[in-house]
Amino acid sequence: MSRRRKGRDVNGILVIDKPLGVTSNGILQQVKRLFGAAKAGHTGALDPLASGVLPLCFGEATKFSQMMLDSDKAYIATARLGISTETGDSEGAIVAEKPVPAGLSSEVLEPVLDRFRGDILQVPSMYSALKHKGRPLYEYAREGIEVERPARPVTIYELTLLDIRENELDIAVSCTKGTYIRSLVEDIGEALGCGAHVSALRRTMASGFTLANAHVVKDLEDMRERGESLDGLLVAPDAALSMFPEHHLAGPALVSILNGQPVRIPGQAHEGFVRVYAKENRSEGFVGLAEAFPEGEETSLVPRRLVKSSGKP
């Protein structure tokens, strides 16, 4: 006999402004309890020393968590110059101290930052969650084991110098998935000849959501204490999929997709993932994601991730 899942059926996405000092999973479990939800997950962990945008997926929305994990991100980081640490952030032991170059200015710093704009190669930190032989690198690092890490391609869309202080820089970064801000800051420090580590980090965008969309856990707790429902704070799963074009289906084609069967439609659709909607109803008609394969004058749509709430027409 299958075990009955605890909690109620909750579907949608909630964006949290994760505070400092707690893990992403800790926040997830706290919010999951507040909703009384049966199923929930986050879309990419933030370190306890980092704050900011953390989208949480509930129920059917968890089907799209990998797409959200693969999305672009944006951060504001403070780089502490002159001190290199074991972990690349302020939590690690100091491994080197060097004098900060005198007279740092935007004129001096911009050419250095420009080296890290666009497509670059980045060596992941040994204290990252990237896995080697099934174990995260930070486990090896804690055991004093150094693992060879090949450089990986990432793209820095924007790298903006926000402020300069005596031994600190504030930078804004917009980047592709897999970019390690700690490694970026360490590399900038190396280029300046003094070393650096991240002393503060705030994620300002993930999966298309910004801090303007984010909720504070304390506000959720206050709502529960007042007996108010939290469900109205959830957004639909397709709110995180705006990077994919949309396609509307009706009649037999829609029935086939809902039954998990590929369909052929006339004309050239976008190649790759598309959001599928039933008829023209954008608010309730999201069916899920399909993958489009143009074939001559037709396109084949193959269902990949369907939501149960779609229903049949």
Catalytic annotation present for 17: no
**Residue 87: closest CA among 95, 98, 79:** 95
Edge-first strand listing for the sheet containing 298-306: 246-249, 272-278, 286-295, 298-306, 263-266
The C-alpha atoms of residue 206 and residue 57 are separated, in whole angstroms, by: 13
- Please tell me the distance from the alpha carbon of residue 80 to that of residue 105, in angstroms, as a whole number: 15
Q: What's the rounded Cα separation, in Å, for the pair 231 and 293? A: 37
Burial of residue 201, with CB atoms counted within 10 A of its CB: 0-12 exposed, 13-18 middle, 19 or more buried: buried
> What is the spatial distance between Cα 78 and Cα 305, in angstroms, rounded to a whole number?
39
Check: CB of residue 267 under 8 Å from CB of residue 297. yes
The CB-side HSE value for 51 (13 A sphere, CA atoms) comes to 12
Distance CA 298, CA 267 (A): 5
CB atoms within 10 A of CB 212: 9
Annotated catalytic residue, options 47, 89, 187, 238: 47
Give the amino acid at 267.
Answer: G
Contact 15, 212 (CB under 8 A): no
Active site positions, annotated? 47
